[in-house]
Amino acid sequence: MTTPVLHPQQGAPAPEPERTPTATAPARARSGGLIALIAGSGGFVVLVIALVFLVVTPRALVVPPIPDEAVAAAAEGAAPGEALFGELNAALESQDREAFFARVSGDAVAPLTLWWDNMEQLGWTSAAMSGDEYDVPWSDGSVEVPVVLGASLAFAAFAPRGSGGDDAGKHFVQGFRYVASVDVVDEVATITGWRTDGPKAAWDFEPLYVARGEHVLIAGRQSEQALVDSLVAEADEAAAWVLDDAEAQGRDLPLDGFNVFATDDQSIFDTWFVDEATAGWQMEAAAYAVPTTRPESWTEGMDTTIATGDSTSTSVVFLGPSAMEQLDGTLPHEFEHVMHYTAVPSSWSDPPRVTVEGWATYQENRRLYDGAYAPADSQAILELSWCYDNMSSSGIADLAPEQFYVEDAFCYYQFGASMFAYLDSLGVDAWDVADAAKFDGVDPLTAAAAQGADVSEAAWQAWVDQQTAGVVAVRY
């Protein structure tokens, strides 16, 4: 028989260790080990556990002299920083390369040229740079200014009008943190240096190759063009299922497609979107979703329809070598993370892994099993049986966050998924519970009880007993 591959995910971003806005959402983990799962029929199943994410060429740029507009702004008494950000944001919004680089010189030209070229290939539609204009000196001098620079990539995300909250009717840019070195001469500010501050995005490393389907954009290294092209059809099919399913459930879609980065090179997978805070855990991941950063506040010249604040922005997906063997489950799982994090952005709370991973795994199972949570003879039930017998003695109290970083992490994905399946069996709206649980930072059962559902840990455990009756699992 075909050997099934198990592919749970690992704890979220350092996102969670993260500085949330730059955190990475829970990753799909991989690891070694075998499980022999013995079904009630006497069959013997062996699982291999894999515990568990256009060519751009930089162009030379001749930097023009300080523009007349900048000199005029200084003469009129505008603060140098206010004038700098105002002109940069106007240039970003109109995608006016010449106007943007009129305020950039020296060591900042090369990295920002790479960023601009990659944004063009990634299909950007809007962009912004935020920072504190008043960090820039009023008189001649130099300073380093923390900024967020981001763009809406090919598949933009937004908060539907009428959805409530400060984001309603606004769109998200996919930003990362940088530090700009700014020099002021004769009260005119220019960016002369540029470096990343935290996780470094794929587009800040090298020119990217991009391929696009109806609902996905896939990007990777120029040397991995064949890999990128090969992923489009399967990713498009998974994306269509996720979007169609959401519409069938009566949800307002916060996006109409997904931006995906991929590599078959483990060294690249361990480098892109990673900083020192996340460099350990992602080594065991197959793929993960990366919540990006939004501008923290409105900055001079910025489009007022761009969402700002201290919550995360929308996310991108990053596929590594181990994901290539399990795309049928990995893709919908990570796309569900993007949907979840976009619909309910994270601020400084850390939603339980059992909620965010449980929801993505529940939806992954529904896609694998034609809309059902898990048939009696499915791999999901076999996994749940072994996990329930070996990893849980007192229910949710055992689901400690640190357990998402060990070889049995997959158990907590299936525990969470089973909670949503249990709620669905009672007629509870699992979508509403998933959103509420993430927003409130609680587990699914607590969120459902807060909504008035008659649920309990004991009843959930009894439901799991029913689903796994007659299944015995042995791991060796």
At residue 65, does pLDDT exceed 80?
no
Q: How confident is the model at residue 475 (pLDDT cuts 50, 70, 90)?
A: low
pLDDT in tens, 256-291: 899 999 999 999 999 999 876 555 544 467 898 988
* Mean pLDDT, rounded, of the chain: 80
Indicate the range of 29-38, 141-150, 162-171, 254-263 predicted with least confidence: 29-38
**28-42, 122-136, 167-181, 317-331, range with the lowest pLDDT:** 28-42
Does the structure show a pLDDT above 90 at 101?
A: yes
Q: What is the pLDDT of residue 310?
A: 85
In this predicted structure, what is the pLDDT of residue 349?
Answer: 57
Q: Any idea which of 62-71, 108-117, 231-240 has the lowest mean pLDDT?
A: 62-71
Query: What is the predicted pLDDT for the residue at 64?
Result: 39
Q: Is pLDDT larger for residue 412 or for residue 30?
A: 412
Place of tokens 């030379």: 60
Q: Which residues contact 1 (CB under 8 A, 6 or more apart)?
A: 45
- pLDDT, residue 74, reads 43
* Range with the poorest average pLDDT among 9-13, 119-123, 441-445: 9-13
- Specify the pLDDT at position 334: 97
With a cut of 70, say whether residue 34 has pLDDT above it.
no
Residue 92 pLDDT greater than 80, yes or no: yes
> Rounded to 5 degrees, what are φ and ψ at 128?
-160, 155
Q: What pLDDT, on the 0 to 100 scale, is given for residue 15?
A: 31
**Model pLDDT, residue 398:** 56
Query: What are the tokens at 455?
Result: 């649920």
Model confidence at 38, pLDDT cuts 50, 70, 90, reads very low
**pLDDT at position 145:** 95
Output the pLDDT for position 106: 97
State the average pLDDT over residues 81-91: 95
- How many angstroms from the chain centroid is the CA of residue 339? 9
Instruction: Return all residues near 60 (Cβ < 8 A) that are at least 6 apart.
Output: none
Q: What is the pLDDT of residue 410?
A: 79
* Percentage, residues of the chain above pLDDT 90: 54
In whole angstroms, what is the distance from residue 27 CA to residue 356 CA? 11
Residue 52 has pLDDT above 60, yes or no: no
Strand, helix or coil for residue 106:
helix
339 near 254, Cβ under 8 Å? yes
Element (H, E) at 288: strand 285-293
Nearest alpha carbon to residue 128 among 173, 176, 77, 182? 173
Q: What is the CA radius of gyration of the chain?
A: 24
In terms of DSSP bridges, do strands 27-29 and 157-158 run parallel, antiparallel, or are they unpaired?
unpaired
pLDDT tens-place string over residues 446-467: 999 999 999 998 899 899 889 9
Q: What is the pLDDT of residues 373-406, one digit of tens each?
A: 998 888 899 888 888 777 655 555 555 544 555 5
Contact assessment for residue 316 and residue 62, using Cβ atoms and an 8 Å cutoff = no
Q: What's the average model confidence in pLDDT over 13-25? A: 33
pLDDT of 189 > 80? The answer is yes
pLDDT at 26: 42
Query: Residue ranges of the domains in the chain?
Result: 68-200, 351-476
User: What pLDDT, on a 0 to 100 scale, did the predictor assign at position 283?
Assistant: 42
Q: Which residue has the higher pLDDT, 301 or 2?
A: 301
| pLDDT at residue 416, as a whole number | 92
Paired with 277 in beta bridges are: none
Ranking 200-209, 247-256, 447-456 by mean pLDDT, the lowest is 247-256
Pair of tokens at residue 14: 């350092």
CATH topology for the 68-200 domain: Nuclear Transport Factor 2; Chain: A, (3.10.450)
User: For tokens 């994410």, what's the residue?
Assistant: 53
Is residue 71's pLDDT more than 90?
no
CB 414 within 8 A of CB 387: yes
- Does residue 412 or residue 429 have the better pLDDT? 429
Distance CA 13, CA 1 (A): 36
At 438, which helix (H) or strand (E)?
helix 430-440
pLDDT tier at 133, thresholds 50, 70, 90: confident
For 68-138, strand residue ranges (E) read: 126-131
More confident residue, 246 or 168: 246
* CA neighbours closer than 13 Å in the CB half-sphere of residue 392: 26
* Residue 134 tokens, joined: 């008043």
